[in-house]
Amino acid sequence: MIKGLYTSALGLSVLNKQQEITSNNLANAQTVGYKKDVLVAESFPEMLHYRLNAPEDYGKTPPQVGSLSLGVNISEVFIDQSAGTRKTSENPLAMSLAGEGFFTVSTPNGERYTRNGDFTTDAQGRLVTTAGYPLIGEKGEIVLDGTGIQVDQQGRIYNSDGVAVDRLKIVDFSTPLSKEGDTLFVGENPQTVAEPKVVQGTIEQSNVQILTEMVNMITIMRSYEANQKVIQSIDTSLDKAVNEVGRV
């Protein structure tokens, strides 16, 4: 009976974390370049029970009673890197990647990577993210002399006179990335994408499917309520065993 309490409590812990992740995904459903998080739960190894101390079993191998599940645990929380829908933007500096790769930006903590291509310019004429981080090209920070620029599919940037300014530093990774904020990623050993596909005048929307996340949230709530009822039922049984049966 006590094991049932632990099993249900573990279930509540996993569901609570899953609710946090789902809520955060919904909160960023309109965040450009956001990639949703997905929780993976796994069950603990089951225990095989044997009948012990029964008089008729003395001297024999105890018979198996059955297996007991010890509940679930969080295996991992991974980032779903599937592409979001591309949307036309009125911002002439906006860009998206129709395929693999990440834009490279400079932050106080070093280079970071993003799929959020809703860029603008700062007071120094640098091409920056909405958070103010400079976009990085093969020559370093990209400085423009105006908004009349053109970006080709390979990421080469031309000014209003058709002169090449720089080429975007677009990289990819063979190992999983970790998040830093909502749309920045941290990774090791970035590899330059040889044939990127940059689409100017578009942005990549979040890959969160609102309807799917809402259904997940309802499912989580129902499972949470079921685990609560199990705990309440076991608590009631323990109360009777201690306070009523104990008096007999």
Q: Between the CA of residue 45 and those of 15, 42, 48, 67, 86, what are the distances in Å?
A: 19, 9, 10, 10, 43
Strands in 72-177 per DSSP E: 72-79, 86-88, 95-97, 102-107, 110-114, 120-121, 127-128, 136-137, 140-141, 150-151, 156-158, 164-167, 170-172
Instruction: Check residue 147 and give its pLDDT.
Output: 60
Report if pTM > 0.75: yes
209 falls within a domain: no
State mean pLDDT over 134-144. 93
165 and 152 fall within a common domain: yes
Instruction: Check residue 68 and give its pLDDT.
Output: 66
Cα 62 from Cα 42, distance rounded (Å): 30
Q: How many CB atoms lie within 10 A of CB 87?
A: 12
22 and 115 fall within a common domain: no
102 and 164 fall within a common domain: yes
215 falls within a domain: no
120 and 168 fall within a common domain: yes
73 and 154 fall within a common domain: no
Mean of per-residue pLDDT scores for the chain: 88
Q: Which domain holds residue 46?
A: 2-81+222-247
What's the one-letter identity of residue 162? G
End-to-end C-alpha distance for the chain, whole angstroms: 21
92 and 70 fall within a common domain: no
Instruction: Check residue 132 and give its pLDDT.
Output: 93
214 falls within a domain: no
210 falls within a domain: no
| pLDDT 10s digits, 213-246 | 999 999 999 999 998 888 888 878 877 777 776 5
Q: Are residues 135 and 129 in contact, defined by beta-carbon separation less than 8 angstroms?
A: yes
37 and 113 fall within a common domain: no
Question: In total, how many domains does the chain have?
Answer: 2
| Position 248 pLDDT exceeds 60 | no
192 and 97 fall within a common domain: yes
63 and 154 fall within a common domain: no
211 falls within a domain: no
| Position 199 pLDDT exceeds 60 | yes
232 and 182 fall within a common domain: no
Query: Where is average pLDDT lowest: 84-88, 99-103, 158-162, 170-174?
Result: 158-162
Could you give phi then psi for residue 78, rounded to 5 degrees? -110, 160
199 and 174 fall within a common domain: yes
115 and 175 fall within a common domain: yes
213 falls within a domain: no
Query: Could you tell me the two tokens for 190?
Result: 């970035």
110 falls within a domain: yes
Instruction: Check residue 42 and give its pLDDT.
Output: 82
